[in-house]
Amino acid sequence: MKQPNKFIISFTVCALLMGLMTNIGSAQTLRQKDATAKAKYQQAKQTYTKEVNFYKSSRQNLINARAKYRQFKNAENKTALEDTAREFIKTTISVMISRLETIRTKAEHIRGISESERQTILAEINEDINWLKERQPKIDNATPTQIKEEAKIIRSYWKNIKVKIKKETGQILAARITFVITKAENFSTKIASKIDELNAAGKDTSQLEILLDDFNQKIDLAKTKYEAAKEKFAAISNLAESDQLFRQGHQFIKEAHSYIKEAYQKLREIVKEIKSVNTSADIQSDTE
């Protein structure tokens, strides 16, 4: 019996082991890059979690110091309250920076966006991080009045940053989907070429054509959801609407992902059918 051709071997390995990747060699490279990116992101997330815990502890200390001063208004408690307030503001800045660094780590490695889009996102994040870092030294020697003023400035700035974070996070989520969709479309082209090749050899490809149509429909549906998500994320411009728009966009992303999973299942069926068509043709050839 004839040996399966190289297309079937590579296609099966890529489809079943790597999902929607291009080939074995590049898949290995992508796995390595993904592993490195994932490790960096997990490290950034862990740092952020620690900073959040420091923030919560610092906030509770401020609440306690304020309550103590209100109960006993003396110089010692006043100084303690001011010191605790300074520490709280510095901790607040640190947790903000850590949050931005987490998103920056994701943006540095995400596939599916142009380098221009990546650099725009990173530039905005770096600008915000630098602004926050410049505020920190001002806190140490701030007077009570200056502490209150700095707190207001940082609170106001953070409201604006939260809007950008929602928008940038949405862009990153959408980028992950568009990367997979692009790979799926490339596979569709390869499958169509294989079907033409089998047709030219006089083989029955009717079932393959049905499966490919189903595969393409799922990808088209995923693209529709992806575009809807992009519109929602792009519309994020103010704090009042940011949460709602992000939730709506995220729901579209989840629906797109669901269609991609269904398309992947069709891809598995396509791989089996291609093997079946080739095997039946080989058997027929051997019996003639």
Radius of gyration in angstroms for the set of CA atoms belonging to the chain, rounded to a whole number? 28
pLDDT confidence of residue 20: 39
Closest by CA to 168, choosing from 100, 247, 239, is 100
Q: What are phi and psi of 119, to 5 degrees?
A: -65, -35
pLDDT confidence of residue 15: 41
Residue 49 structure tokens: 């979690």
Residue 237 structure tokens: 């411009």
Q: What is the pLDDT along the chain (288 residues), one digit of tens a residue?
A: 444 444 333 443 344 334 433 444 455 576 777 788 888 889 999 999 999 999 999 999 999 999 999 999 999 999 999 999 999 999 999 999 999 999 999 899 888 888 898 999 999 999 999 999 999 888 988 999 999 999 999 999 988 888 989 998 998 889 889 889 999 999 999 999 999 999 898 889 999 999 999 999 999 999 999 999 999 999 999 989 999 999 999 999 999 999 999 999 999 999 999 888 876 544 344 334
Buried b (16+ CB within 10 A) or exposed e, 159-176: eebebbbbbbbbbbbbbb
Residue 97 structure tokens: 């920076």
Torsion angle of the four alpha carbons 155, 156, 160, 165, in this order, in degrees rounded to the nearest 10: 0
pLDDT confidence of residue 34: 74
pLDDT confidence of residue 26: 52
Residue 254 structure tokens: 């989840």
Residue 119 structure tokens: 């650099």
pLDDT confidence of residue 233: 94
Residue 17 structure tokens: 């082991």
E-assigned strands of the chain? none
Q: What's the CA angle centered on 182, arms 180 and 184, to 5 degrees? A: 70
Amino acid found at 188: S
DSSP 237: -
> How many C-beta atoms surround the C-beta of residue 226 within 10 A?
26
Tell me the C-alpha distance between 194 and 208, whole Å.
10
Q: What are phi and psi of 172, to 5 degrees?
A: -70, -40
- Cα distances from 241 to residues 231, 236, 261, in angstroms, run 14, 7, 30
pLDDT confidence of residue 37: 81
pLDDT confidence of residue 277: 82
